[in-house]
Amino acid sequence: MKKIKIGVIGAGRIGKIHVDNLRRIPEAEIVAVSDLFAGEELQEWAGSRGIGIVTKDSEEILSNPDIDAVFICSSTDTHVELIKRAAQEGKHIFCEKPVSMDISLTEEALEEVRKAGVQLQVGFNRRFDHNFKRVREHVQAGEIGSPHLIKITSRDPEPPPEAYIKVSGGIFMDMMIHDFDMARFLSGSEVEEVFAQGSVLIDPVFSKYGDVDTAIVTLRFENGALGLIDSSRRAVYGYDQRAEVFGSKGAVSVTNDHPNTAVLTTENGLRSDKPLHFFLERYQGAYMDETEQFIDCLLNGKPVPVNGNDGRQAERIALAAKLSHQQQRVVKLSEIEDLK
Amino acid sequence: MKKIKIGVIGAGRIGKIHVDNLRRIPEAEIVAVSDLFAGEELQEWAGSRGIGIVTKDSEEILSNPDIDAVFICSSTDTHVELIKRAAQEGKHIFCEKPVSMDISLTEEALEEVRKAGVQLQVGFNRRFDHNFKRVREHVQAGEIGSPHLIKITSRDPEPPPEAYIKVSGGIFMDMMIHDFDMARFLSGSEVEEVFAQGSVLIDPVFSKYGDVDTAIVTLRFENGALGLIDSSRRAVYGYDQRAEVFGSKGAVSVTNDHPNTAVLTTENGLRSDKPLHFFLERYQGAYMDETEQFIDCLLNGKPVPVNGNDGRQAERIALAAKLSHQQQRVVKLSEIEDLK
Amino acid sequence: MKKIKIGVIGAGRIGKIHVDNLRRIPEAEIVAVSDLFAGEELQEWAGSRGIGIVTKDSEEILSNPDIDAVFICSSTDTHVELIKRAAQEGKHIFCEKPVSMDISLTEEALEEVRKAGVQLQVGFNRRFDHNFKRVREHVQAGEIGSPHLIKITSRDPEPPPEAYIKVSGGIFMDMMIHDFDMARFLSGSEVEEVFAQGSVLIDPVFSKYGDVDTAIVTLRFENGALGLIDSSRRAVYGYDQRAEVFGSKGAVSVTNDHPNTAVLTTENGLRSDKPLHFFLERYQGAYMDETEQFIDCLLNGKPVPVNGNDGRQAERIALAAKLSHQQQRVVKLSEIEDLK
Amino acid sequence: MKKIKIGVIGAGRIGKIHVDNLRRIPEAEIVAVSDLFAGEELQEWAGSRGIGIVTKDSEEILSNPDIDAVFICSSTDTHVELIKRAAQEGKHIFCEKPVSMDISLTEEALEEVRKAGVQLQVGFNRRFDHNFKRVREHVQAGEIGSPHLIKITSRDPEPPPEAYIKVSGGIFMDMMIHDFDMARFLSGSEVEEVFAQGSVLIDPVFSKYGDVDTAIVTLRFENGALGLIDSSRRAVYGYDQRAEVFGSKGAVSVTNDHPNTAVLTTENGLRSDKPLHFFLERYQGAYMDETEQFIDCLLNGKPVPVNGNDGRQAERIALAAKLSHQQQRVVKLSEIEDLK
């Protein structure tokens, strides 16, 4: 059996998720893992998973001729350089979102990928979620006719720590980039105009970094359809991830996943448990699926399901939203640099 | 416009509901109302509704040649005599359930109705409920194939007062007779065997009268399908009225009606308001519809939607359930006297 | 018993609804009805309801000293004059929405109402809907903390005829004015900024009149909360009226009403009936309640639940939305003339 | 790290599920697997999972001193002998349900387990299901007060093949034994009386073996509560596993799991996907959890969560149900032999 040999760069929370998912895929073998802060703990963690090489230096992975593909799970500011190096070494790439916060740097990375002829998959895991996938299927099957309105709700259970807020790139790039990708995914159409509004309603710390914690973005798509996204850094009841596509023949909507279906009915009314609390629980299956499909595409020479252009377009919408919010006006996506 | 002239016998809670519903039907005119306890209060109540005759003596209604039809809403022990008298006077009859607690007396009443050629509708209001009607429609349209299992849940928000328990005829005759009719209505089939179990779990007062407050009844239908009914005298969260029919091609189920669709989601989970509290709210529309259809059938010479035989069959099942509970055995419906 | 004597001006669809609801209120008596097109048919219709005066001339109602209050249900362009005349005659006023499409004319009417010291209730019936009322109650009880996001979905089952589109005032004034009022009602806060986007996706006829058939409006409230409204002239599955308020302690949402709770489960999945088809069914109870409360307020000298200022503020938001859509920019509500 | 060394006896569908779950538990090591039909295919399957010993002879596992615990996944008629042998060898035991179809044989096996002082867990996986567990939690927390009614629905997506029906022990022992255990689990009470009714409505092949394909069982519990279970060998829409406990303070109910939350709304109504189709999908997490808890109990010397007595009591109820069905009468559980 042919196996894809993999190096994982960055062993934080998301890197570890990918490692554990990759271990469940018989056709994948994790050869090495690197992390700037690699120490005894990581050594032990990797050892218990049968990973031979643990290093602080990602270059050990990039230059290792045994390795077919890399998972880039390090901080966003390292993505572009790592993609370029991996491409130069002829390695296929799975890169966490966003590729970068600067569209021309993203373009540099994509250009290197194209030149090298390697595959690049961007980590828009939500496309693989059982709920959102089903919406897309209904839309693509024509069951709602042509889309008129695309609605996305995206709320986190709690804000990140200040240290993260500082370097996050802001709510539009850090958090809503998932929603911008989702808007393209669900509608099957490209965005033409963006309008964004934001408020600081949860924690004044966001103001300190020119960021907001509550935001809405409206979109106009090429086909005239309109989009609405609402986002919050804190839904006290847990992760809130819903969507609806409304069209000429009907609508399809998805709501949250819950830990069980129990309903308690008493004198005080009906009560049930709140939604799954965070992305690790809600998107567990989605993370597994995106990884399986990536490996499958490499093995069978098929194009990856979320490519560099998907990464770039979501970034462009995020940049447009940021600009719209700053300037309090509608921003046309054409104002944001695209592929040369 | 031809109007049906009506006398209402018995002006308790249910009699008053019928009066107020009849007033909303342009083709109906309430000429008289009688009640054993008719006094100043009833006089005033009737006056404000434009009802000319208020009397203690039902005979004033029965012998009034202006009256086309009577609504019998008095206590169960008076039904048989009133039906017989009304039939002799050539009046059409709407009678609250049950016709009686003695199947041979019921048969006497029905015999008189047949002889007189008048119409008799029995007050199984739940057949007109938007939910149960829809179940029946799906079953009759063949959408679930042939029925295999019929399940009915029927729970009251609180037990009646002791004075009522004493004369109620017991849970099987008083409360579950509605469910026995519903079982026939939903399945479109007749019952062959009955098994009943009961417990006193809510209030020991039920034991005093040989009654129970919690009961389950299982049924075997002519076509081999099986039925399950569960019943309680007290669901603290309100009126609980649900049903399911499962068959060879699928299942159809209905749940309770709620006062609104609001869902509150907080750290403590999801919460919504409990079901409509009592039969007056839940079956408001059903009471209206059964009355409208009765009037329509009289006006247009159509057979009424719930006839004397429906009344009798539900009574037979109730009697079989009572016997089964007493003797702790399966009772065949053929053991219970039917139409001579 | 004191009765409020009423004249109804305009006997189209909505006027007739009010007549039928008023008839069910013992403390209200409909003395007269006027309609520009009053003829034999209306005469008969009114006669069967015991309404003595039927006229083409609203002045017959306005100058009738027996009449305590008028219901203005005629076309929008007649509202201002009728309100002014009714106020001058010392009559209380129930007026359908919008008061007018010109905020200074609306102000003239309100000024006359203030001078006369009569009551004016504007027909924002949705405030009385069991679902939206429950949302408001939860918000006011503090159960979701302070509001951060207010979301409203408002879709009609089908577009009006071209003749109506022509004079409707456009989607923002004609249809979404209800939603603008709802946004104020649910949030308990005033709007500061408005942004609107629209498309013609259903029927090109809307373009002919500078109108759109699909629109989204975002709002910024005084307290920093953000609002999102989406609207369509045609949801093929029926009337779609939902809302959600999300805040610091949770969220409350309401969905549509359905004709029954039946769920059919087969090899093809779960299926249930679509929502109630139109506003007459969905808001039947709401229309009744607004009328009962109006009468109750007149009888007991209480302020009406939806007053002239509510009418004006919703109109200002509608005008701001229209301007925003025309100029493709954020419009501050302060740009729209308010009370002098 | 201490590891529990395991031998798996029987490598059919359920044995393989246990193997794959055990592999995900770091504290468990599968040393050997036996199967009567072990051949090249099983050798390869086991090899790819790093299992060293593959044999046709379960005795190789039972007498292997390296093995701490066995999973008995072979056919029911082998359970008693294997349990006795494993106990004699001092091995802990996980045994699939039922222990046997003969209560005195079951008792022999349990006696041997007691003498040897080993642990025995019976494979009532549904106790570990997220939904049923939540019902039990609510009941045990007193949130519904004292239970009055326990309702269980248990329907398979399709009947087993005739070869299996022949040796299955019948619907009460093979399929409903899970529900009998669930009734004890949810109510926290023992059963005193059993009544069973059955029909052949799906496939006449069941009659051939004195079996039925559609059955209802009612239970009376020690505390007076009543139980209702309905069961079918074929729900065309998939696995149907629901429960409800109703009590003095309210009710708690659970419904099925679905593959996604998508709802499609069109002119034809609302539509969503049918429930998860079979037990492998629905109870995937439950199988994992029962195995983790078994290993945890062995490692930490805690009593297993489902013991031999749980196995025996469910068997007694199944035997009572069978007898009740044959003799068409209520069977007291005391008629069925219990622990000597």
Q: Which two tokens stand for residue A97?
A: 């979102």
- Residue listed under structure tokens 């009418």: C311
Closest A-chain CA to D26:
A48
Segment C120-142, tens digit of pLDDT: 999 999 999 999 999 999 999 99
Q: Which domains, from first to last, does chain A contain?
A: 4-118 (3.40.50.720), 127-283+314-335 (3.30.360.10)
Does B273 sit within 8 Å of A270, measured CB to CB?
yes
Residue D106 has pLDDT above 60, yes or no: yes
Chain C contact for A43 (CB, 8 A cutoff)? no
Contact residues, chain B, for A275 at CB < 8 Å: 265
Contact residues, chain B, for C138 at CB < 8 Å: 262, 264
Nearest residue to A83 (alpha-carbon basis) of A299, A91, A75: A91
Does B131 sit within 8 Å of C264, measured CB to CB?
no
Burial class for A90, CB neighbours closer than 10 Å (0-12, 13-18, 19+): exposed
Chain A nearest-CA distance from D26, in A, is 9
Chain C nearest-CA distance from B242, in A, is 10
Chain A nearest-CA distance from B267, in A, is 5
Q: Which two tokens stand for residue A206?
A: 């966001």
Chain C contact for A176 (CB, 8 A cutoff)? no
How far is the C-alpha of D85 from the C-alpha of D79, rounded, in Å?
A: 10
Chain D contact for B158 (CB, 8 A cutoff)? no
Nearest residue to A179 (alpha-carbon basis) of A103, A97, A285, A101: A97
Closest D-chain CA to A132:
D262
Does A246 sit within 8 Å of C232, measured CB to CB?
yes
Contact residues, chain A, for D253 at CB < 8 Å: 262-263, 265
Contact residues, chain C, for A198 at CB < 8 Å: 226
Chains in contact with D, where contact requires at least 3 CB pairs less than 8 Å apart: A, B, C
Contact residues, chain A, for B266 at CB < 8 Å: 236-237, 274
Nearest residue to D292 (alpha-carbon basis) of D22, D65, D63, D19: D22
Contact residues, chain C, for A237 at CB < 8 Å: 250-251
Residue of A265, A269, A274 with shortest CB distance to B265: A274
Nearest residue to C231 (alpha-carbon basis) of C205, C211, C247: C211
Contact residues, chain A, for C272 at CB < 8 Å: none
Chain A nearest-CA distance from C207, in A, is 13
Which of B232, B265, B277 best probes binding to A when mutated, by most A CB atoms within 10 angstroms?
Answer: B265
% of chain C at pLDDT higher than 90: 94
Q: Kindly give the confidence (pLDDT) of every residue in chain B, 340 residues in length, as a single tens digit, with 9 standing for 90 and above.
A: 689 999 999 999 999 999 999 998 889 999 999 999 999 999 999 998 889 999 999 999 999 999 999 999 999 999 999 999 999 999 999 999 999 999 999 999 999 999 999 999 999 999 999 999 999 999 999 999 999 999 999 999 999 999 999 999 999 999 999 999 999 999 999 999 999 999 999 999 999 999 999 999 999 999 999 999 999 999 999 999 999 999 999 999 999 999 999 999 999 999 999 999 888 889 999 999 999 999 999 999 999 999 999 999 999 999 999 999 999 999 999 999 875 5
Question: Residues D239-247: what's their mean pLDDT?
Answer: 97
Q: Which two tokens stand for residue A324?
A: 């719209």
pLDDT at C29: 95
Does D272 sit within 8 Å of C270, measured CB to CB?
yes
Residue of B236, B268, B271 with shortest CB distance to A270: B271
Chains in contact with A, where contact requires at least 3 CB pairs less than 8 Å apart: B, C, D
How far is the C-alpha of B93 from the C-alpha of B86, rounded, in Å?
A: 7
How far is the C-alpha of C74 from the C-alpha of A182, rounded, in Å?
A: 46
Which residue numbers in chain C have pLDDT < 50? none
How far is the C-alpha of C219 from the C-alpha of C213, rounded, in Å?
A: 19
Chain C contact for D267 (CB, 8 A cutoff)? yes
Residue of A254, A265, A266 with shortest CB distance to D262: A254
Does B261 sit within 8 Å of C255, measured CB to CB?
yes
The backbone torsions φ and ψ at residue D46, rounded to the nearest 5 degrees and listed phi first, read -70, -40
Does C261 sit within 8 Å of B131, measured CB to CB?
yes
- The string of DSSP codes covering A254-309 is E----S---EEEETTEEEEPPPP-SHHHHTHHHHHHHHHHHHHHHHHTPPPSS-HH
- Residue listed under structure tokens 């056919």: D75
Give the pLDDT band of residue D93 (cuts 50, 70, 90): very high
- The string of DSSP codes covering C104-142 is HHHHHHHHHHHHHT--EEE--GGGGSHHHHHHHHHHHTT
Residue of A135, A250, A262 with shortest CB distance to D262: A135
Chain A nearest-CA distance from C247, in A, is 8
Which of C155, C232, C236, C237 best probes binding to D when mutated, by most D CB atoms within 10 angstroms?
Answer: C237
Q: How far is CA D139 from CA B237, C172, D227, in A?
A: 16, 52, 15
Nearest residue to A119 (alpha-carbon basis) of A153, A79, A92: A92
Chain B nearest-CA distance from C186, in A, is 13
Chain B contact for A261 (CB, 8 A cutoff)? no
Contact residues, chain C, for B257 at CB < 8 Å: 261
Query: Which residues 190-219 on chain B approach chain C with CB closer than 8 angstroms?
Result: none
Contact residues, chain C, for D269 at CB < 8 Å: 237, 271-274
Contact residues, chain D, for A138 at CB < 8 Å: 262, 264
Which residue numbers in chain A have pLDDT < 70? 1, 338-340
Chain C nearest-CA distance from D267, in A, is 5
Query: Quick one: angle between helices C79-88 and C103-116, nearest 10?
Result: 10
Does D216 sit within 8 Å of B218, measured CB to CB?
yes
Q: What is the largest CA-CA distance in chain B?
A: 67
Closest D-chain CA to C276:
D269
Contact residues, chain D, for B215 at CB < 8 Å: 226
User: In this structure, which amino acid lies at residue D177?
Assistant: I
How far is the C-alpha of B70 from the C-alpha of B6, rounded, in Å?
A: 6
How far is the C-alpha of C292 from the C-alpha of C310, rounded, in Å?
A: 19
Does A266 sit within 8 Å of D249, measured CB to CB?
yes
Does D267 sit within 8 Å of C272, measured CB to CB?
no
Segment C307-332, tens digit of pLDDT: 999 999 999 999 999 999 999 999 99
Query: Which residues 126-155 on chain A approach chain C with CB closer than 8 angstroms?
Result: 146, 148-149, 151, 155
Q: Which of helix, strand or coil describes residue A181?
A: helix
Contact residues, chain A, for B255 at CB < 8 Å: none
Chain C nearest-CA distance from D177, in A, is 26
Chain B contact for A271 (CB, 8 A cutoff)? yes
Chain B nearest-CA distance from C81, in A, is 36
Contact residues, chain B, for D246 at CB < 8 Å: 155, 230, 232, 235
Name the pairing type of β-strands C250-254 and B263-266: antiparallel
Segment A1-24, tens digit of pLDDT: 689 999 999 999 999 999 999 998
Does D48 sit within 8 Å of A131, measured CB to CB?
no
